[in-house]
Amino acid sequence: MDKINLWQQTLEELRLIVSKPIFQTLLSQVELISLEKNIATIACPNPYIQSLVESRYYSLIKNTLDQKTKGGNSLVFVVNPGLVKKSNKKDERNGPLFNWKEGGSLGQNNSLNPKYVFSTFVVGNSNNFAHAAAQAIVQKPGVAYNPFFLWGGVGIGKTHLIQAIGHAILGKYPELKIFYCPSETFTNELVQSLQKKTISAFKKKFRELDVLLIDDIQFIAGKEYSQEEFFHTFNTLYLAGKQVVLTSDRRPEEIPQIEERLISRFMGGLTVDIQPPDFEMRVAILKAKCQEKNQELDEQALTFLAKTVSSNTRELEGVLSQILTQASIINEKPDLEFIKKFFGVKSKTQSKKASAKKIIFMVVKHFKIKTADLLGVSRRREYVLPRQVAMYLLREEGEPLVKIGEVLGGRDHTTIIHGVRKITHKFTSDSNLRHEIMLIKQSLYE
């Protein structure tokens, strides 16, 4: 039996053993790429799926493969990012795996934002597993992954994804009652119901839902009564087979001041993290947003912007909007030179070089400190940061490491390298610091 037919038969067997969402989200994503001397090498599209499949389904895959080959095999899992996602293809027997219209019953008071749908959600290596799991939930709410706990940093798409789940379920099952709210809203409504003595109406509203989407669940930490009420709401929905989707800025077990019984329930379904977008995904996000705004940026401009802002999706979109707005106001094309100017990067046409003395003067002036403190040995934060910014700006002007060390109080080149690297990293991830550096740069070339 050839490798392709062997794996196809193995998958057909696995399809009958595991649930449809598990098969579609995990097992259908992997592929047998070689079988030599009873060693089966299985490729996965990313490290996350590799870890889950290897840790949870190794024995199942091995036993199924052993039956087909009539021998004992060892499995080796590798990552192959170029692996085609089968979830995007059609299941020949059942038609499209995911088939719904986005939107659903617009008359429902579900608090869903019409912009946050799957069609506007950019998928990449950092979120493809979360996206696939979300789509599986839409097929069978309350069955696929319940609860679904999504965690990650600020501005990386958690709110977009859980609201997309709500829209898609409405499109597929318009009769279901769906409600989205931040946990702060849950707490505020609970307090108001207690004040107005309408707690029964509050419980009825939340406990008769078919799908409950709660954003930023970490904000109920330390609020005992909110945790008590949410515990009973969760239990009521879960035992009735209703879908619960939660987001947080950290793992369930890392949320401080939250009851153990809630943590255990949050971890009872599927917990998935979303990482900040990588470079390729940032470029894709920029292209999608430009298309949405009927704007166009050339590849050089997109590349520069994607490299410069790497913190999160929300900030990337915000910076793009600022650039496009500013370009529109002054009637200029938002090309590479315009974007560099926006970030305070010296244009190629600017032959004048800012002197070391001027850079130090502008840094001291901006941070409102004394020159002696900038050049001194104090490790207080209010002096260290400006000092490192000065290192960064001097290096950007092409000054040698030795000279930078000399003008900044006789520091060695390793200290300068460390300072430059630190600010270079922060420039891409810290919007506040980036703004401060941009202001200083603009003052240098005025």
Each residue's pLDDT tens digit, 91-134: 333 333 444 445 444 445 668 888 899 988 888 888 888 998 99
81: confidence class by pLDDT, cuts 50, 70, 90? low
User: Which of 30-39, 140-149, 173-182, 335-344 has the least mean pLDDT?
Assistant: 335-344
Return the pLDDT at 53.
Answer: 85
**Any alpha helices (H) in 293-400, and if so which ranges?**
299-308, 313-329, 336-342, 356-367, 371-375, 381-396
| Tokens found for residue 8 | 């196809």
Mean pLDDT of the 128-153 span = 90
The pLDDT-based confidence of 85 (bands split at 50, 70, 90) is very low
The alpha carbon torsion through 282, 284, 285, 286 (nearest 10 deg) reads: 90
* Residue/partner pairs of 85-91 with CB below 8 Å, 24 or more apart: 85/29, 85/45, 85/128, 85/132, 86/28, 86/29, 87/24, 87/25, 87/28, 87/29, 87/132, 87/135
- Which of 164-178, 255-269, 311-325 bottoms out in mean pLDDT, i.e. has the lowest? 311-325
* 352: confidence class by pLDDT, cuts 50, 70, 90: low
Question: Which amino acid is it at 150?
Answer: L
**Does residue 238 carry a pLDDT above 50?**
yes
* pLDDT for residue 416: 93
| Predicted TM-score of the model (pTM) | 0.62
- % of the chain surpassing 70 pLDDT: 90
Q: Per-residue confidence at 397, pLDDT binned at 50, 70, 90? A: confident
Q: Give pLDDT tens digits for 17-66.
A: 877 767 877 888 899 998 888 888 999 887 767 877 888 888 889 888 88
Task: Check if the beta carbon of residue 434 is closer than 8 Å to that of residue 427.
Answer: yes
Structural contact between residues 42 and 31, judged by C-beta atoms closer than 8 angstroms? yes
Rg of the Cα atoms in the chain = 27
- How does the average pLDDT of the chain come out, rounded? 85
pLDDT confidence of residue 28:
86
User: What value does the mean pLDDT take over residues 195-216?
Assistant: 94
% of the chain exceeding 90 in pLDDT: 39
What would the mean pLDDT of 412-417 be, rounded to a whole number?
A: 91
For residues 54 and 260, the model is more confident at 260
Q: Can you list the domains of the chain with their CATH numbers?
A: 3-83 (3.30.300.180), 118-273 (3.40.50.300), 279-342 (1.10.8.60), 356-444 (1.10.1750.10)
Higher pLDDT, 200 or 111: 200
Give the pLDDT of residue 197: 92
Over residues 215-221, mean pLDDT: 93
Does residue 303 register a pLDDT over 70?
Answer: yes
204-220 average pLDDT score: 94
What CA–CA distance (Å, rounded) separates 116 from 313? 14
Asked whether the predicted pLDDT for residue 255 surpasses 80, the reply is yes
Q: What is the mean pLDDT of residues 72-89?
A: 68
For residue 71, is pLDDT > 70?
yes
The Cα–Cα gap between 355 and 347 comes to: 16
Instruction: Give the DSSP H or E segment for 248.
Output: strand 243-248
Q: How confident is the model at residue 332 (pLDDT cuts 50, 70, 90)?
A: confident
Is the per-residue pLDDT at 181 higher than 60? Answer: yes
